[in-house]
Amino acid sequence: MLRFRSLGSGSTGNGTLIESTRNGRTTRLLVDCGFSLRELTRRLAPAGLTPSMLDAVFITHEHSDHVGCALQLGRRHGVPVWASLGTWQAMDRKPAPLRAVGAELVRHVALDGVPIELGGLQVTPFGVPHDAAEPLQLRCTDGVARLGVLTDLGEPTEAVMGHLSDCHALLLECNHDAQMLADGPYPFFLKRRVGGVRGHLANTQSATILDRCRHTGLRHVVAAHLSQQNNTPELAAAALSGVLGCSATEIIVADALQGSPWLDAG
Ligand SMILES: [Zn+2]
Ligand SMILES: [Zn+2]
């Protein structure tokens, strides 16, 4: 069984818990860790988990809403930390250096599109256009069900959509409504960055990705990484439900504080 649960999503912190259970063995992967260790502990508790019960953490890129306590998690609880070489190098330029985690827990993702095996999970990272050193997003499978995680990218690309086209569940960035961003309070440079090709997805772009990736086996769509200033859960859900022809209430919107409930990918 493959199931997942957002621990919270947005510019204040992102984390997605993925769990596979096969032949009595459970593997737990945390994708991004944009919280303090105390806050992560608090958010894991409703799932009946503690940080030491995680098998690995995968950092998609070095932005603070994704790294958070990852290095502490490694050091204190012995959880291996996976990231691209570019992300590791970018993190190393920041106040928490690599030595904080311990070399034995550092794991490099070898290449874009090359799968890595984490217990009962196979994870395939892929590169995305985003304003970070070597940003990745991923798809993963327990051998039966497939889940795509896509929280930070500036525009849909053929390569990205190819990686997500047969997933049974998608956690998909719906960062902003283009009109709200244009009319909103951000300074001009920030509007350009967020709306640019290496920034974040507008709801309409998320809808384009979903339209390309939808198929009859798609069970769950979760809207994620919503901007609190430039989007609303209703607008994001409407954009995605419009593609699927379903009720907006069938789209789950990951809350910044509450995340989402457990969802079965297959
Ligand atoms: Zn980012
Ligand atoms: Zn982010």
What is the pLDDT tens value at each position of the chain, 266 positions in all? 999 999 999 999 999 999 999 888 999 999 999 999 999 999 999 999 999 999 999 999 999 999 999 989 998 999 999 999 999 889 876 555 555 666 778 888 877 788 999 999 999 999 999 999 999 999 999 999 999 999 999 999 999 999 999 999 999 999 999 999 999 999 999 999 999 999 999 999 999 999 999 999 999 999 999 999 999 999 999 999 999 999 999 999 999 999 999 999 98
Distance 225 CA to ligand 1 centre (A): 10
**Amino acid at the residue 225:** H
Distance 127 CA to ligand 1 centre (A): 13
Domain ranges of the chain: 2-264
Distance 132 CA to ligand 2 centre (A): 10
Residue 176 CB-density burial (10 A; 0-12 exposed, 13-18 middle, 19+ buried): buried
Helix (H, G, I), strand (E, B) or coil at 222: strand
Residue-wise DSSP of 135-170 = -EEEEEESSS-EEEEE---SS--HHHHHHHTT-SEE
- Tell me the fold of 2-264: Metallo-beta-lactamase; Chain A (3.60.15)
Distance 25 CA to ligand 2 centre (A): 31
Distance 213 CA to ligand 1 centre (A): 22
Neighbours of ion ligand 2 (CB under 5 A): 65, 152
